[in-house]
Amino acid sequence: MSRIGKKPVALPQGVTAEVKGQTIEVKGPKGTRSFTATDDVTLSLEDGAVKVTPRGLSKRARQQWGMTRSMVENLTVGVSQGFKKELEIQGVGYRASMQGNVLKLALGYSHDVNFEAPAGVTITSPKQTEIVVEGIDQQLVGQVAANIREWRQPEPYKGKGIRYKGEVVFRKEGKKK
């Protein structure tokens, strides 16, 4: 029995869900998202909550049970609150700024890095050393944050680079004479 799959997904205030076969569409104040489940599970709407049940006891059905429930919960959180990733920039001369829909990063290269925000994601830079990525799709927000971080990952000697807020970078000791 899946501990995660057993729990019904409660719909917060202002969020509505519609189940059509294997597809669920969730609407909320931030937008609309949909998800199509596999044939191994059944989606149903009961008492203002979405319930996911497996269609058998096969290993695949049990795997899809918990995963589908987590996906439905992520849809409801996305359309009601949204998702957010915060990045910090550390290093002398490293900075970020927004110009329209383009994030301009000065990361020690001979040129500035221009990163265009994809549709469905909002990128802001409240300070020159902070980047905030927001959106209703958890996977897309995480992927955009990872793509930005990829331009200059934190290095272990001086700690320079782009890191997630609160990330601990293991520091190495330099050469000794």
The average confidence (pLDDT) of the chain is 93
* pLDDT tens track for 64-80: 999 999 999 999 999 99
Q: What is the 3-state secondary structure (H, E, C) of the chain?
A: CCHHHHCCEECCCCCEEEEECCEEEEEECCEEEEEECCCCEEEEEECCEEEEEECCCCHHHHHHHHHHHHHHHHHHHHHHCCEEEEEEEECCCCEEEEECCEEEEECCCCCCEEEECCCCEEEECCCCCEEEEEECCHHHHHHHHHHHHHCCCCCCCCCCEEEECCCCCCCCCCCCC
Q: What is the pTM of this model?
A: 0.88
Q: Give the side-chain half-sphere CA count within 13 A for 161.
A: 19
pLDDT at residue 157 is higher than 80: yes
pLDDT at 15: 93
pLDDT at residue 4 is higher than 80: yes
pLDDT grade for 174, boundaries at 50, 70 and 90: confident
pLDDT at residue 54 is higher than 90: yes
Domains in the chain and their CATH numbers?
A: 3-80 (3.90.930.12), 83-164 (3.90.930.12)
pLDDT at residue 144 is higher than 80: yes
* pLDDT tens track for 85-142: 999 999 999 999 999 999 999 999 999 999 999 999 999 999 999 999 999 999 999 9
What's the mean pLDDT in 33-52?
93
The helix-helix angle for 59-80 and 138-150 (nearest 10°) equals: 80
pLDDT at 176: 84
* pLDDT tens track for 8-22: 999 999 999 999 999
Residue type, 151: W
